[in-house]
Amino acid sequence: MAVPAQLHSIIFSFILLLLSLFDNSLSQPQTPSPAPAPPPPFDSCNGIFLSYNYTGGHAIPPTDPTNQAYRFESTLTVLNNGRHELKSWKAFVGFQHQELLVSASNAVLADGSSFPAEVGNGTVLAGFPISDLKSAVETAGDRAQMEVRVGLVGTQFGVAAPDVPMPLNISLVNNGYSCLNATNQGNNVMHVCCIQDDINSDSNNGVNDEFLARQEGDLVIMYDVIRAYTDNYWAQVSISIHNPLGRLDKWQLSFDWMREEFIYAMRGAYPYVVDTTDCIFGRQGQHYKEMDFSQVLNCERRPTIVDLPPTRANDSILGRIPFCCRNGTILPPLMDPSKSISSFNMQVYKMPPDLNRTESVPPQNWKINGTLNPEYECGSPIRVTPSQFPDPSGLPSATASIASWQVVCSITQSKQAVPRCCVSYSAFFNDSAIPCNTCACGCNSNPSQTCSATEPALLLRPNALLIPFENRTAEQLSWADIKRRSVPNPLPCGDNCGVSINWHLLSDHKDGWTARITLFNWGDSSFEDWFAAVQLDKAVPGFEEVYTFNGSKLLGSNNTLFMQGRPGLNYLLAETDGAKPKKDPRVPGTQQSVISFKKKSTPGIEVAAGDGFPTKVLFNGEECALPTRLPSKAPMVSGRSSVFGFLTLALLLLMQ
């Protein structure tokens, strides 16, 4: 059939239009294809890659226009792109918005704190239960073994949308790594790459040893599994002091069980509270249906453990553990190496899915403290080589633990810490003693108190230092009147310290000088095996002798003296009633000694101008509060009055 001429014309026109469009497309400049996306930041990191990703948040009650609280949710990622395994990873997050961290998945706080925790000045997170990150080399690039993601949930203050409460920085804390400057990606992601300082790529084909090296610290806790069964194990816990000025009295140890464990039995120590409530009404009671929970010692998630008294050392049920049962006293090794360690055993029952003898998980968030001792901050447990113990049968062999973890603790001084001892100054050239500072060891916050917490302490006759503060009012007013000094109203509050130390500059002559140190115990408990350490920045090279105590230069230091009581004089007794309790004030327990120095080794020393006074004083490891001023060479009432006052103090002490 013939095609009509009109249809022919339409088809021809359509073809011409297509050709025209094709020709125009060729003549138009071509739009370049988009460049390939840059590789992810972690691809260019040949070390440990850390990223912090803020994922969201919102305002939470109560409403406070001046300091509103907001929930925040973030993810911290730690990825091992290096050649070697990363053991016991620890990462710092520089929080800066008054954050309160409520929870963290796959991590714990490295300082031993429990959630919720204030982290507004930054915090270190440690991996748990995944503490080690394999390398790509040993896993064929398996990200599940190379990476950990920590979900963070908490509260921050003052940063509202669209602003984002990002940390100041992030970094890896593990020794041997250096981190570059953190980089921001957008407004909600921060990342950083940390490189191993010294990489020996051929040392072991990228595979590190199985355990971390044991570390040094002021105090070390060992958690050794010594017997293991399907559903329970026995652990030996050892606490040892390594710092020459460290100490614990009546120690209390606490930690967190992370997998619903509970303590069935103990030897050498005991729970502060015997409580099985959480087991009976919890999953433990459902699983161990036939167990007699009246025999269980403690089911708290965070138990507190205390030492036993010496009378239990040979108890067939609770005692007979080496280094146990010393009433919680651990001395520095400088005083007695055999008393610088404390130990106990405990039987721990486990819960599913950990019911096999190879599965033992150490507790986390360790804390230890004493009565009048330094504060200790403890890190997370790290897996170390199995400990070895002498064979109990006496054979010349050693028995290794099944598994061992080490917890390293450091002496720390927090800004909020309140001292528990204080120092007063006096000198032969001034008849007034400078007492301990007002509220040196804290003050009652009760607004109804009738004393001033801000007025400086009033100067005293030296013999008034023997009188309890509550009985000093008449002495304070009398001495102020004699010295014609004004008296504030209300009078200054006391120092509120259980122990005070007087440092008296006794003499200063051409070839040498002497000082007298006096310890006062105002508490209800005596101190056995006490020690004191005095730091004198310029005088110690000239140290000659301590006459009543055992004293020496602290090993490894050129500015500190270490003193302890001699045998028979190693007790600083508690405060006691006066001779006539209804009339006389109570009397503190005291110890006193004179210390002599030569000037030959310290040329240019200005004893009276300040070099003869301590710059730091410690009692049983606790740093004591120092006065804010030194005795001056002001005119005295009379030389006879001064000598009489100081002799009276010395004679009264000798009569104790």
Residues 6+ apart with CB under 8 A from 507: 428, 513, 514
Question: Measuring CA to CA, which residue among 170, 154, 156, 157 is closest to residue 103?
Answer: 154
- Do 522 and 494 form a contact (C-beta atoms < 8 A)? no
**pLDDT value for 484:** 93
Please write the tens of the pLDDT for every residue from 112-132: 889 999 999 999 999 999 899
Q: Higher pLDDT residue, 214 or 7? A: 214
The CATH code for residues 421-443+452-624 is 2.60.40.290
207 has pLDDT over 80: no
Which amino acid would we find at residue 127?
G
With cut-offs at 50, 70 and 90, classify the pLDDT of residue 13: low
- What are the Cα distances from residue 393, in Å, to 136, 322, 389, 397, 399? 47, 14, 11, 9, 11
Strand ranges in 476-631 using DSSP code E only, listed in sequence order: 499-508, 512-521, 527-528, 531-535, 543-546, 550-553, 560-564, 571-572, 589-598, 616-619, 622-623
What value does the mean pLDDT take over residues 130-150? 94
Give the phi and the psi of residue 438 in degrees, each rounded to 5: -55, 130
- Do 608 and 529 form a contact (C-beta atoms < 8 A)? no
| Residue that has been written with the tokens 């069935």 in this structure | 264
Q: CATH assignment of 219-411, given 2.40.50.140, 2.60.40.290, 2.130.10.10, 3.50.50.60? A: 2.60.40.290
- The percent of residues in the chain predicted with pLDDT above 90, rounded, is 77
Give the phi and the psi of residue 550 in degrees, each rounded to 5: -85, 120
- Do 95 and 167 form a contact (C-beta atoms < 8 A)? yes
- Do 339 and 375 form a contact (C-beta atoms < 8 A)? no
Q: Where in the chain is the domain with CATH 2.60.40.290?
A: 41-196, 219-411, 421-443+452-624
Least confidently predicted of 150-154, 329-333, 552-556, 647-651: 647-651
4 has pLDDT over 60: no
**pLDDT value for 9:** 60
B/e letters for 558-581, b = 16+ CB within 10 Å, e = fewer, are ebbbbbbbeeeebebbbbeeeeee
Distance CA 336, CA 374 (A): 18
- Do 106 and 83 form a contact (C-beta atoms < 8 A)? no
The region that residue 479 occupies, defined by phi over 0 for left and psi between -120 and 50 for alpha, beta otherwise, is alpha
Which amino acid would we find at residue 243?
N
Residues 6+ apart with CB under 8 A from 87: 131, 132, 174, 208, 212, 382, 383
Q: Cα-Cα-Cα-Cα dihedral of 180, 182, 186, 188, to 10°?
A: 140
- Do 537 and 613 form a contact (C-beta atoms < 8 A)? no
Please write the tens of the pLDDT for every residue from 78-91: 999 999 999 999 99
Q: How many other C-beta atoms lie within 10 A of the C-beta of residue 203?
A: 11
**pLDDT value for 455:** 93
**pLDDT value for 446:** 67
Give the largest CA-CA distance in the chain: 148
* DSSP assignment letter at 337: G
- The percent of residues in the chain predicted with pLDDT above 70, rounded, is 88
- Do 518 and 590 form a contact (C-beta atoms < 8 A)? yes
Please write the tens of the pLDDT for every residue from 560-611: 999 999 988 899 999 998 888 888 889 999 999 999 999 999 999 999 999 9
What value does the mean pLDDT take over residues 432-461? 88
Q: Higher pLDDT residue, 142 or 578? A: 142
Q: DSSP for 451-490?
A: SBSSSPPPPB-GGGGGS-GGG-HHHHHHHHHHTT----SS
Distance CA 127, CA 117 (A): 17
Q: Give burial (CB, 10 Å; 0-12/13-18/19+) of 344.
A: buried
What value does the mean pLDDT take over residues 334-351? 96
CATH architecture, domain 41-196:
Sandwich (2.60)
**pLDDT value for 2:** 52
616 has pLDDT over 80: yes
Distance CA 238, CA 11 (A): 98
What value does the mean pLDDT take over residues 206-230? 86
Least confidently predicted of 35-44, 229-238, 258-267, 489-498: 35-44
Residues 6+ apart with CB under 8 A from 608: 427, 429, 505, 508, 633
**pLDDT value for 14:** 54
Average confidence score pLDDT of the chain: 89
Least confidently predicted of 12-16, 266-270, 574-578: 12-16
Distance CA 238, CA 368 (A): 12
Least confidently predicted of 392-401, 419-428, 446-455: 446-455
Question: Measuring CA to CA, which residue among 436, 560, 433, 569 is closest to residue 496?
Answer: 436
**pLDDT value for 199:** 56
**pLDDT value for 638:** 43
**pLDDT value for 633:** 80
415 has pLDDT over 90: no
Give the phi and the psi of residue 266 in degrees, each rounded to 5: -145, 155
Q: Give burial (CB, 10 Å; 0-12/13-18/19+) of 550.
A: middle
629 has pLDDT over 70: yes
Residues 6+ apart with CB under 8 A from 39: none
